[in-house]
Structure 1
Amino acid sequence: MAGPLTTTIIIMAALVAPHLVLSQPCTESVCNFNFVIRRTKTMTHSRDVNGTRDTNSVKLRDDGRLELFSSLGNPAHPGKENVNGTLVPWEEVITTDGVQRNVITVNDMFPGPTIEVVEGAQVVVKVTNKLLNEVTSIHWHGLHMRGTPYMDGVAYVTQCPIMPRESFFYRFRAEPAGTHFYHSHLSTQREDGLFGALIVHKGKHPIMPSVPVILHDWYHVEATPYWISNMFRLEYGGDGAYELGAYERTFSHDGIKVSSREYNSALINGRGRFGNNRAPLSTFTVPSGGSVNFRIIHVGPDYPFRFSVDQHELTVTASDGYDMSPRSVQSVIMYPGESYDVRINGSADPDLYWIRAKTLSIGHCTKCYPYDEVNVVPDDITQEVRATLRYQGVTADRDPTTSKRNCSDENPCFVFNCPFAGYPEHENTACIHVNEAKAYAFLSEGEGHSNVTDNGGKQSISTDIMEIFLNFNFAIGSSVNGRRFVGPTAPLYQDNTAAIVPCDKEQCLRSGCRCTHIIDIPYNQTIQLVMYNTFAPASQTHHSVHIHGHAFQVVAMGYPSYNKTTGRYIQPNPDVECKNELCTDASWRNGPPLLNLINPPLKDTVLVPANGYTVVRFRSDNPGHWFLHCHNDQHMNEGMALVLQEAGDRHPAPPRGFPRCGDFTWSSEEYQHDLEGNGPSDVQTTALATKVLILSVVVGVLAFVIILTAATYCILKKKRDALSLTPMTEPVPLK
């Protein structure tokens, strides 16, 4: 039988076009990729000069063109060419927003190269860490890692981190199909650029043309110094140098804080503008009368965005890789960790049109406390990143001059995935909440996605439901059920109790705690998570929650009451009843709400609205340690996370030779013993065992030789004896 077809795709970047989101689809059964992770600097240009890599800084001209700049091109540096003023193509530069800073690249590309494979393929990614002094790991966001949970890429949970100068081979099955992405799951490296798109095409369908659109907020301070100054760190609070004070923070129209982090800019496929500069922007092409399919992925750390295209409707066809019944909307709101597939029809006049991703910020508070009396005053500050939609045949030699379409009473705007109950009436804008969407009904059995939920996505009412209430609020800071997550010091598969900080249940309920929060869930049951955020004043932020290893059905969402004139929330949703002071223990007040069990939408990252809740379901049929966390980087690293230990007695063993790590201890007795020249006891034991083994082998070989010699002697002796007893006869003469 022939082996599987294998192709190796080495996604490398030359000195040109390092920024492009390129992909070369692999349609074979085994696909190999090589990733090299390193840091570089934006707004620099590299070229080959006589076989040597020559790198210079780049300046942004007022007209948007880029020119080289170097202080080394003077007599103090003989042999260095004076390149100042030399124009270079913007395609050869990682420009980001036109401001220079360090960035993490994959194969010298930012964003990283797109992986594109077919569902069911074996994906092999060799990751080589060339960061100077940082460990790393890669999480494959949206892939379930069935049978290979140790490939999920969460450092210190599912694997040891990859050390500098070392390589690690990820090997896993590409499922489910859809729009996914990869990113570092080590501290804050995702903020610095370690991410890229991961597209899995359906196995029984032709590959349809599509374009990854990678969206994220971007900051001029690298993640490490920002995190050191963070006031809400787990270990020691910083000075808050890069955070906003209460009266500086921005709010959305519902009176909810958008972020405590100062907004700098945002990028689409690695390009944006800071302030009013003329840095290059990303351009996407649509044929007139045709359409283009966008795979929009929010990889950012903090701010949500409302994505739209001037004078064009968006047809939403999927979220987090899962098809849903198409909905035509004016815009889609996206939170960190979410992805949406949208189709844009080229039905407008051929021209250039703005693509916009705008934060939800509308203004600042003039009265910030108490939270139920916050007064938000609109301002004229626009926090927005743009790109260009170009009709085929139109030259993109200028910026578009278009505006957003008018939302009127006769032609209202519909917004998909609102985190709040609704918009102010005068805006003529209506919300479509994600729980109102419908999973796409496949035409025939066997089509579509893997069986990730009960009955292949058509879940019936089940009697084996395990319901778990999870509180996402700031009662003691970023936490889940009053527990701020302390990461283990060694992967959980090593079963090292010293590597975790146990949770004291009574203390956690009484006053909150810091521990390695692990929830055990049994095998093959319906798990219903009630993720609530209703404990005012500690619930004044929307969260996007991601669950590793699973997709889940969104069966209910509850929103607070709100003023329809202003859009301002009034009271938290009353459905969840708190049972203790911190509201870290809860139940339904009057029984569960009405659940949508008929084709509910499937997702792997979902909004938990401020002063509301979200109910999701999945089947616990994928044994492993699965991380569950807020996908806001700041919240996650501050402790808003936990581990689902699913079917603990059924976890598959990691492959032979899988790396191990953890703390090292050495007692005084062991130290003294080794100093006396006896060597470590375990080494002595190993040496003795080796000697015994060698001696046994030698004795065995000698015994075998002796036995063989004796047997041979006996056989030869018997033959000689037999010959001596045989009578001799005379030959008969021939006639």
Structure 2
Amino acid sequence: MLLRISILLLYITLASARKVLYGWNIGWMNANPDGRRERPVMAVNGQWPPPIIRATVGDDLLVTVHNNPPNETTSLHFHGLHQEGSNQMDGPPHVVACPVPIGTSYTYRFRVKEAGTFWWHWHSNGQYMDGLRGALVISDPRSPYQDKCDSELVMSLSDWYHDLQAQLAACYLSPDCNPSGAEPVSYSALVNDNSDTSLRVRPGETYFVHVINMAAFAQMYINFEDHNVTIIEVDGVYTQPRTVSSLYVATGRRYGVLLTAKPDPNKNYAIPVAMDVDAFDNVPNYLRPNTTATLMYDTSKPVPREITVPFFDVIDDITLEPWDRQVALQQPKTRIELNLELFPAFGQNRAGFNGVSYLSPLVPTLYTVVSAPIPLLSDTRIYGDYTNAFVIDYGDVVEITIHNTDDGQHPLHIHGHQVQLISRVLGLFNNGLSHAGQTPIRRDTWTLAGQGTTVIRFVADNPGVWHFHCHMEWHLAAGLAITLVEAPKLIQAKQKEIDANMESICQSQGIVTTGNAAGNAKDWLNLVGQRSNP
């Protein structure tokens, strides 16, 4: 039975691993984080902002979710964790599982194998825009920077909308309501889901600051007044140290930085945060694109006002180097070419890759893999015409080249992997760079520049069905996603059956768990009846 308390966090030491448990009731409450308008938000155990998940590498993490809202199914994703051996727990509904319906509980359980700065969010119906999101911090006793910091701080950056996601998405996708196809713009920028956040620091101490962009649309600049920070981690990858004055954080991306407090401060300092409004099609008059947090040394001294930053001197993240100096992968065996496009389809404003706008299959793709005849596992036809599936063989070096036909930039996110950023043409900083013969940085979320091309590589060493999509929520809603089916024979060999609790959840909603994308388990190449409309 789910314990109805603010947070259930228990540590039980066993021979195999420590178990870290959370029990969450999801429901609606009202909040007004920008001080401009109260609106409904999706809360955890009656608390908003929701809690931070904390664990240590090697822990078994269990998050039991009871879905209470009267009108929403849900699904939980742990952004940046690879779910090695636990693909079913990755979260995206109709990709690896079924959504959790109203009045139902489900426990996400897996071994934590990555360390650093991550976040959790709901992967159903854009619910993280309505408040279901939070930081996920994984400690690492073996970190190369373990002895460099005294404590930790968390900074989430987000854009805040005054209307519910469902209403905004309906208008965004409708050519009648939105003939220009422009994305909805939020009202305010927030830090830690607030407009007056303070980070308490003590003179002379060094802090590991976890910076996370949880926005639905806005990319963010951040500066620390009269302080430099040293980048030591991006997206869960330790880096060679790089000292900077500012950061540019795209949606879904994270930085871990070291900040050393002044030994003898004479005031509190501003932390200005600004949306990249140049990335918007329009800048409405109601928008407050900037907010200011406080680096708080002394609560008896004044809180700094908003300051002017003439120029955010940000670095190009492709020039960062991983701590382990892993060399660029060579001789890719699987090559995938993707053209990112925005176009009309299904009577809507849509987006997609290679002319295909993603639609969910009737059978979650992972369940098609588990139930399909072995000779057909590598035949992409069984996964449907609209899932944009690509089959990858185990152990292959995979190279994906993404061409952007759109003028706007796109933060792309891959589940299940960190990828090497091999090269970029017409990048965010208007230069062409190649790290094909060097030690490229690895990320799970990277920026594809407007009219630009980026090449990534990774090793297919994590069997599973993995989502690959734009992390601007509006573009995901419009279908800007593909499906990577990695080592399907190994998936089927290792996963003999679907999680029993999830099986019953699927059945309760009439979702079929065997067959091709159309639910046909007799004629696997017959896709009559597949979903062909949003």
**Residue 253 of structure 2 is aligned to residue 338 of structure 1:** yes
Shift of 1:459: 3.6
Q: Shift of the alpha carbon at 1:460?
A: 5.6
Deviation by residue 1:456-497 (Cα, 9 ceiling, x = unmatched): x72465335322111223255411111100112332232279
Of 286, 289, 310, the match for 1:383: 289
Q: Does the 8 Å contact 2:328/2:422 carry over to 1?
A: no
In the other structure, the counterpart of 1:30 is 19
| Aligned-pair CA distance for 1:119 | 0.5
SS in 2 for 1:440: coil
After TM superposition, the structure 1 = structure 2 runs for residues 578-597 of structure 1, keeping only pairs within 5 Å, are: 594-597=434-437
Residue 243 of structure 2 is aligned to residue 358 of structure 1? no
Alignment match of 1:531 (pick from 396, 402, 409): 402
Task: Determine the structure 2 residue equivalent to 1:614.
Answer: 454
Using the TM superposition, name which of 332-341 and 471-480 deviates more. 471-480
Number of the residue aligned with 2:91: 153
- Matching of residues 303-314 of structure 1 within 5 Å: 303-314=218-229
Q: Are the aligned partners of 2:189 and 2:274 in contact in 1 as well (CA < 8 Å)?
A: no
The CA distance in 2 between the partners of 1:380 and 1:351, in whole Å, is 32
| Shift in alpha-carbon separation, 1:115–1:594, aligned structure 2, 3 A | closer
Deviations 1:553-581 (A, max 9, x none): 1121211699xxxxxx7xxx9x9xxxxxx
* Shift in Å, 1:665: 11
Which residue of the other structure, out of 411, 423, 435, is the alignment partner of 1:544? 411
The one of 464, 474, 481 equivalent to 1:634 is 474
What is the distance in 1 between the residues matched to 2:54 and 2:280? 42
What is the Cα deviation at residue 532 of structure 1? 1.8
Q: Return the offset for 1:329.
A: 1.6
Higher relative contact order (CA 8 A, sep 6+): 2
Match of 1:36, as an amino acid? N
Percent identity for Structure 1 against Structure 2: 26
Mapped pair 1:458 → 2:314: no
Task: Tell me which amino acid in the other structure corresponds to 2:480.
Answer: M
Counterpart mapping for 1:384-463 below 5 A: 384-391=290-297, 393-395=298-300, 398-401=302-305, 403-404=307-308, 414-415=313-314, 432-441=315-324, 458-459=326-327, 462-463=330-331
The CA distance in 2 between the partners of 1:180 and 1:433, in whole Å, is 21
Question: Equivalents in 1 of 2:280, 2:478: separation in Å?
Answer: 25
Contact 1:559 1:612 (8 Å CA) reproduced:
yes
Aligned counterparts of 2:243 and 2:258: Cα–Cα separation in 1: 9
Q: CA deviation at 1:203?
A: 4.0
Aligned 8 A contact 2:162 2:186 in 1: no
Aligned residue number for residue 337 of structure 2: 469
Amino acid at match of 1:338: R
Partner residue of 2:237? 322
Quote the Cα distance in structure 2 between the aligned partners of 1:402 and 1:664.
53
Query: Is 1:25–1:116's contact at 8 Å kept on the other side of the alignment?
Result: no
Partner of 1:483 in structure 2? 356
1:169 alignment counterpart: 107
SS of corresponding position for 2:277? coil
Deviation, 1:289, is 2.4
Structure 1 partner of 2:6: 13
Partner residue, 1:210? 152
Contact 1:37/1:130, CA 8 A, preserved across alignment: yes
Conserved? CA contact 1:105–1:193, under 8 Å: yes
The 1:480/1:26 distance shift into structure 2, 3 A limit, reads farther
Looking at structure 1, the residues matched to 190 and 23 of structure 2 have their Cα atoms a distance apart, in angstroms, of 25
| 2:11–2:18 Cα contact (<8 Å) kept | no
Deviations 1:68-99 (A, max 9, x none): xxxxxxxxxxxxxxxxxxxxxxxxxxx45342
Residues 288 and 350, structure 1, Cα contact 8 Å, conserved in 2: no
Quote how far apart the aligned CAs of 1:137 are.
0.6
SS, match of residue 214 in structure 1: strand
1:518: which partner in 2? 389
Letter of the structure 1 residue corresponding to residue 342 of structure 2: F
* 2:500 is aligned with 1:657: yes
Match of residue 191, structure 1, among 123, 129, 132 = 129
Gaps of 5+ in 1: 1-8, 15-21, 44-94, 247-258, 273-280, 369-375, 408-412, 416-431, 442-456, 505-512, 563-568, 576-592, 667-735
C-alpha contact (below 8 Å) 1:11/1:33 kept by paired residues: no
Q: Which amino acid aligns with 1:351?
A: K
User: Which residue number in structure 1 is paired with residue 439 of structure 2?
Assistant: 599
Query: What displacement does 1:213 show?
Result: 1.0
Between the aligned partners of 2:210 and 2:511, the Cα distance in structure 1 is: 49
TM-score (norm 1): 0.60
1:97-112 alignment runs, 5 A limit: 97-112=35-50
Separation in structure 2 between the aligned mates of residue 238 and residue 42 of structure 1, nearest angstrom: 31
* Alignment correspondent of 1:131: 69
- Whole-Å Cα distance in 1 between the matches of residues 243 and 444 of structure 2? 22
Structure 2 CA distance, aligned partners of 1:97 and 1:203?
A: 40
Measure the CA separation in 1 of the matches of 2:219 and 2:119. Answer: 18
Q: What letter corresponds to residue 312 of structure 1 in structure 2?
A: H
Amino acid at match of 1:265: S
Kept after mapping to 1: 8 A contact 2:219/2:276:
yes
Deviations 1:140-177 (A, max 9, x none): 11111111101101111111111111111111011211
Q: Pairwise mapping of residues 238-317 of structure 1 onto structure 2 (< 5 A)?
A: 239-240=177-178, 260-272=183-195, 281-317=196-232
Cα deviation for residue 204 of structure 1 reads 3.0
State the alpha-carbon separation in 1 of the partners of residues 42 and 448 from structure 2. Answer: 30
Quote the residue 1:725 is aligned against: none
Which of the two has higher C-alpha Rg?
Answer: 1
Q: Any conservation in 2 of the 1:364–1:379 contact (CA below 8 Å)?
A: no
Give the conservation status (yes or no) of the 8 Å contact 1:179–1:341: yes
Aligned to 1:555: 422
Shift of 1:402: 6.4
State the SS of the aligned residue for 1:557: strand
Equivalent-residue separation in structure 2 for 1:260 and 1:490 (angstroms): 30
Q: Tell me, yes or no, if the aligned pair for 1:26 and 1:117 is still in contact at 8 Å.
A: no
C-alpha distance in 2, partners of 1:522/1:528? Answer: 13
Q: Determine helix, strand or coil for the equivalent of 2:454.
A: strand
Residue 165 of structure 2 corresponds to: 223
Distance 1:322 1:404, change over 3 A: farther
Deviation at 1:38, TM superposition (A): 1.0
- The equivalent of 1:200 in structure 2 is 138
**What whole-Å deviation, never above 9, does each CA across 1:81-134 have from its counterpart, x for those lacking one?**
xxxxxxxxxxxxxx4534200000122222321111110111111111111121
Deviation at 1:29, TM superposition (A): 1.6
Contact kept? 2:65, 2:106, Cα under 8 Å: yes
Aligned-partner residue type, residue 439 of structure 1: P
**In the aligned structure 2, how far is the partner of 1:521 from the partner of 1:345?**
45
Residues 638-686 of structure 1: per-residue CA shift (max 9 Å, x gap) = 01001100011111324552433378699xxxxxxxxxxxxxxxxxxxx
Counterpart for residue 376 of structure 2 = none
TM-score, normalisation: structure 2:
0.82
Structure 1 contact 440–599 (Cα < 8 Å) conserved:
no
- Displacement over 6 Å in runs of 4+: 22-28, 378-381
AA at the equivalent of 2:108: Y
SS at match of 2:168: helix
Judged with a 3 Å threshold, the aligned counterparts in structure 2 of structure 1 residues 466 and 363 are, in CA distance, closer, same or farther, namely closer
C-alpha spacing 1:238/1:12, structure 2 compared with 1 (3 Å): farther
One-letter code of the match for 1:13?
A: S
8 Å contact 2:28–2:41 — kept in the other structure?
A: yes
Letter in 1 for 2:392: I
